[in-house]
Amino acid sequence: MPSQNFKEIIDGFKKAKVLVVGDIIVDHYIWGKVTRISPEAPVPVVEVSKEDFIPGGSGNVAHNIQALDGNVYLCGVVGNDSLGERIKGQLQNLGIDTGGVLVDEFCSGTIEKTRVIANIQQVVRIDREDRQLKNKKVISRVLEYISKMIPQVDGVIISDYGKGLICPQVLTEAIILAHKHKKVITVDPKVEHFLKYKKVTCITPNTLEAAQGIHYPLPRTQEETEKLGELIIKKLKCESLLITQGEKGMTLFNQGKKAVHIPTMAQEVFDVSGAGDTVISTLTLALAAKAGLLNAAIIANHAAGIVVGKVGTATCTPTELKQSLRRG
Query: Which pLDDT belongs to residue 297?
Result: 96
The CA distance from 17 to 38, in Å, is 50
User: Active-site residue 277, yes or no?
Assistant: yes
Catalytic residue among 27, 160, 188, 277: 277
Interval 200-238: pLDDT, tens: 999 999 999 999 999 999 999 999 999 999 999 999 999
Q: Roughly how many angstroms between the first and final C-alpha of the chain, as a whole number? A: 11
Q: Region of 290 please: left (phi>0), alpha (psi -120 to 50) or beta.
A: left
The CA distance from 45 to 27, in Å, is 21
Q: Which residues of the chain have pLDDT under 70?
A: 1-4, 131-134, 266-274, 311-313
The CA distance from 7 to 274, in Å, is 24
Closest CA to 23 of 188, 145, 179, 202: 188
Alpha-carbon torsion 92, 23, 167, 289, what sign?
positive
Query: Which pLDDT belongs to residue 2?
Result: 42
The CA distance from 65 to 67, in Å, is 5
- Collapsing DSSP to helix, strand or coil, 94 comes out as coil
Query: Which pLDDT belongs to residue 229?
Result: 97
Query: Which pLDDT belongs to residue 3?
Result: 45
* pTM, rounded to two decimals: 0.92
Domains in the chain with CATH codes: 3-25+55-110+129-327 (3.40.1190.20)
